[in-house]
């Protein structure tokens, strides 16, 4: 009879431990959701309160439905003030959402130039790609956005990084119909030796 009793006791202990763990996990999810809501609502007081909680990493909280961080939210609304503030508070600019978009990719896609520069200054890697393999530089070429192209090239973006079709920013820039200025920016940067000079490597989370 001792063995079944011991098994029952062990089971109760395990269940008790699980009961403690679940609320802790739920609390983290709740705090993450609260922070993202505060960022979405531009509620600086609430966001600061959550950031100042001891041992918190909520600045890099991700939406459980789409994987977006607070930086994704601020970039999508072209909010330079909040973008800079989150970076100052330690937000990681290299976290990708569920579609493989880092905040820098998102900023490049919408032509948010100030945001692109702020993210680069905050440590964003320029040679990253979304699920289709498109880098910020390729997005700049597609958009014929020469200002964005210059910012990215100056930051060391690789014009020969290919997307999932096998084409690079340089190859897209050389296509018929693309203004010559687009390709000339890439070639001028190469002749001056600025391409790739500040390039950084590492994983995207």
CATH at 49: 1.25.40.20
Question: 185 and 174, same structural domain?
Answer: yes
In a domain, 37, yes or no: yes
Question: 162 and 148, same structural domain?
Answer: yes
What pLDDT, on the 0 to 100 scale, is given for residue 60?
A: 97
What pLDDT, on the 0 to 100 scale, is given for residue 22?
A: 44
Are 159 and 87 in contact by the 8 Å Cβ rule? The answer is no
Question: 104 and 53, same structural domain?
Answer: yes
In the chain, the number of structural domains is 2
Question: 76 and 160, same structural domain?
Answer: no
In a domain, 21, yes or no: no
Question: 94 and 38, same structural domain?
Answer: yes
Q: Which residues pair with 163 in a beta bridge?
A: none
Residue ranges in the chain whose pLDDT is less than 50? 1, 9, 11, 13, 15-16, 18-22, 24-26, 196-205
What pLDDT, on the 0 to 100 scale, is given for residue 195?
A: 55
What pLDDT, on the 0 to 100 scale, is given for residue 13?
A: 46
Question: 133 and 54, same structural domain?
Answer: no
Exposed, middle or buried, 9 (CB in 10 Å: 0-12/13-18/19+)?
exposed
Distances (CA, A) of 22 to 18, 32, 35, 36, 177: 6, 15, 20, 21, 58
Please give the residue range of the domain that contains residue 98: 28-125
In a domain, 138, yes or no: yes
């Amino acid at each position: 009879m001792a063995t079944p009793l011991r098994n029952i006791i062990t089971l109760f202990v395990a269940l008790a431990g699980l009961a403690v763990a679940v609320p802790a996990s739920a609390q983290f999810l709740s705090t993450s959701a609260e922070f993202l809501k505060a960022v979405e609502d531009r509620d600086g007081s609430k966001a600061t309160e959550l950031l100042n909680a001891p041992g918190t990493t909520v600045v890099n909280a991700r939406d459980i439905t789409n994987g977006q961080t607070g930086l994704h939210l601020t970039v999508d609304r072209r909010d330079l003030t909040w973008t800079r503030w989150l970076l100052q508070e330690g937000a990681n600019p290299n976290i990708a959402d569920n579609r493989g978009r880092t905040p820098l990719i998102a900023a490049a896609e919408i032509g948010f130039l100030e945001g692109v520069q702020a993210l680069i200054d905050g440590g964003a890697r320029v040679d990253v790609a979304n699920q289709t393999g498109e880098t910020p530089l390729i997005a700049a070429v597609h958009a014929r956005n020469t200002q964005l192209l210059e910012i990215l090239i100056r930051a060391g973006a690789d014009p020969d990084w290919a997307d999932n079709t096998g084409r690079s920013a340089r190859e897209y820039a050389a296509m018929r119909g693309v203004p010559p200025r687009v390709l000339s920016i890439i070639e001028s940067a190469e002749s001056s030796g600025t391409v790739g000079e500040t390039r950084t490597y590492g994983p995207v989370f």
